[in-house]
A = this chain, B = another copy of it.
Amino acid sequence: MATYKAPLEDMRFVLNDVFKADQLWASMPATAEVTQDLSDAILEEAGKMTEGLLFPLNRNGDEQGCSWNDGEVTTPDGFKDAFKTFAENGWSAFSGNPDFGGQGMPKSLAVLFEEMMHSACSSFALYPALTSGACLAIDAHASEELKAQYLPKLYSGEWSGTMCLTEPHSGTDLGIGRTKAEPNGDGSYSITGTKIFITGGEHDMTGNHIHLVLAKLPDAPAGSKGISLFLVPKFLPDADNNPGERNGATCGSIEHKMGIKGSATCVMNFDGAKGWIIGEPNQGLACMFTMMNYERLSIGLQGLGLGEVSYQSAVEYARERLQGRSATGAKNPEGPADPIIVHGDVRRMLMNMRAINEGGRALAAYVGMQLDTAKFSEDADAKKKAEDRVALLTPVAKAFFTDRGLDTTITGQQVFGGHGYIREWGMEQFVRDCRISQIYEGTNGIQALDLAGRKVARNGGKSVDAFLADARAWLDANAGNAQLADVSEALDAALCLLKDATDELLAQAGANPDAISAAAVEYLDIFGYVIYAWLWAQMLAATDGRDDDFAKAKRTTGRYYFQRVLPRAQSLFAQLSSGADTMMSLDGDLF
């Protein structure tokens, strides 16, 4: 059966030993109160909560799913009560703005909490994740009046939030959306249109739902430059700011999906619903993108969290399942067979999972710290540099976490053999739940296009150069670290490979407008494998001087990463270098 314990030791290692996150927090007034003691204690509490409150909901949540009845949605047994406890204990306010009742916790801590939530119950995790995203957009762009009215209710968990972007004919291409917003003359707007794939659009866990809706004003320019963002509550707040009159925002149905069945994915009908604009007219997409960097990283964590719970479950099964004998002689001679963890191929699967999960956790914390710096630093240069790094790495993290997360959950399922295919064992659910993370919040192909086009080609690779300079400086500064002796050469080669791939991408892009799109996914994957190599080197270096079990395992896993995972980047470079021709030359009718 599936099993989960929050990986606290590794989380503390990454935050405290590798990145010394507390030094960053101490350097910024907004996070100065977050000491290492506090962050350790928070992680421990988050571990208890996710293991004890959320993980037990996960299997039934999948079997029972959500149900729709005449516009109302019922979540699986236990979700509502668990959310009440979750909110009462302050978890829904975790990263919120303290001016409106949030706890102001840094993202570098939040990413680890989010990973735990996705490990424990990904469907549940999505409800507070969407609310956090909505809060970010409101906090960054809404009027003070709207903030004061909505943020405290959202942070307290009394209300919840959604993001309404997609329409039946308009997904990636938001510019062709048809939802309209007509001014009512009193500062409010009347919103009409249909939105689909709305996570948490309707459910029974909170007393009000606050929808953030993309729509077009009557005089809006065509395309993506004519989109505005509106706040549309399910119930219009009354004079006491309690849910009052029912607004014209209703749930027409919920989707039947491959996974995340405990998460209500709604068709939302806005029928002259009353709303208020967030930010400036026609700037809706920019407002949404404020939160995108946060949300895309968080959705990436779905892949990471599911990879972790799949790994832990697979290890337990591999220790218990007796089948065959070790190639070097029986290891369990009293039993009918040896535990399958003795077999090379089972270890290959487990090591792949470990190497990817631990590399991902380090990247999550690294990007989290960059987000914290970008948001809270009072040093303008550091802030600007961090903003650029976040912009560069967010698509990498979202796509690489989730692509590798799917690989990892599939691998964990494979360790279980036939039992991995049976629902009761829980392993196949992780695969199904993980699969959506590659699709929503911008498909991974779109993430790759964002990276290769907007973040790399548009500035001639300058952001990559800055990243590579940091990695090289780190490598130079740590050249004497004994733990790097057998990997520094490989890391050096990996950094060169990313440089070469970037140059190749820029050269192709100069010659062929289709080149970016054709090369983007391979480029993103190269980036992912290379940055994991740097992060693994940092983790290895941080174990220097230790000789405990944790350090031993970390070192073996790190060497595994360099020897058995990183080489994939070489092939990707060969693929990328072949150019776009074999993709673009075939007539569309001949497919």
Residues in A lying within 8 Å of B, measured CB to CB: 166, 169-173, 176, 196-197, 255-259, 315, 318-319, 322-324, 326-328, 336-337, 339, 341-351, 354, 406, 410, 413-414, 417-418, 420-424, 428, 431-432, 435-436, 438-440, 443-445, 448-449, 513-521, 549, 552-553, 556-557, 559-560, 563-565, 567-571, 574-575, 578-580, 582-591
Ordered by A's residue number, 26 sampled pairs between the chains whose C-beta atoms are within 8 Å are A169-B322, A171-B323, A172-B323, A176-B323, A259-B421, A319-B588, A344-B516, A344-B520, A344-B580, A345-B445, A345-B449, A345-B518, A346-B445, A348-B518, A351-B583, A414-B439, A414-B445, A420-B439, A552-B587, A556-B582, A556-B590, A563-B575, A563-B579, A564-B578, A564-B582, A567-B575
* A583 nearest CB neighbor, chain B only: B347
* A518 nearest CB neighbor, chain B only: B344
Give the interface SS of chain A, mostly helix, strand, loop or mixed: helix
Among B259, B344, B517, B571, the residue within 8 A (CB) of A344 is B517
* A319 nearest CB neighbor, chain B only: B588
* Shortest distance between the CB of A555 and any CB in chain B (Å): 9
Among B345, B563, B583, B588, the residue within 8 A (CB) of A448 is B345
A556 and B343 CA atoms in complex are apart in Å by 42
* Shortest distance between the CB of A69 and any CB in chain B (Å): 19
Whether B258 lies near A423 (C-beta < 8 A) is: yes
Whether B591 lies near A315 (C-beta < 8 A) is: yes
Whether A443 lies near B414 (C-beta < 8 A) is: yes
Whether A432 lies near B582 (C-beta < 8 A) is: no
* Shortest distance between the CB of A415 and any CB in chain B (Å): 9
Q: Which residues of chain B have C-beta atoms less than 8 A from A319's C-beta?
A: 588, 591
Whether A354 lies near B559 (C-beta < 8 A) is: no
Q: Which residues of chain B have C-beta atoms less than 8 A from A170's C-beta?
A: 323
* Across the A-B interface, the 9 shortest Cβ-Cβ residue pairs: A344-B517, A344-B518, A563-B578, A567-B574, A560-B582, A258-B428, A571-B571, A327-B513, A347-B583
Whether A435 lies near B428 (C-beta < 8 A) is: yes
Whether B439 lies near A435 (C-beta < 8 A) is: no
Q: Which residues of chain B have C-beta atoms less than 8 A from A172's C-beta?
A: 323-324, 417
Q: Which residues of chain B have C-beta atoms less than 8 A from A413's C-beta?
A: 435
Whether B431 lies near A414 (C-beta < 8 A) is: no
A534 and B574 CA atoms in complex are apart in Å by 19
* Shortest distance between the CB of A7 and any CB in chain B (Å): 12
A519 and B255 CA atoms in complex are apart in Å by 43
Whether A571 lies near B567 (C-beta < 8 A) is: yes
* Shortest distance between the CB of A446 and any CB in chain B (Å): 8
A461 and B519 CA atoms in complex are apart in Å by 38
A567 and B574 CA atoms in complex are apart in Å by 6
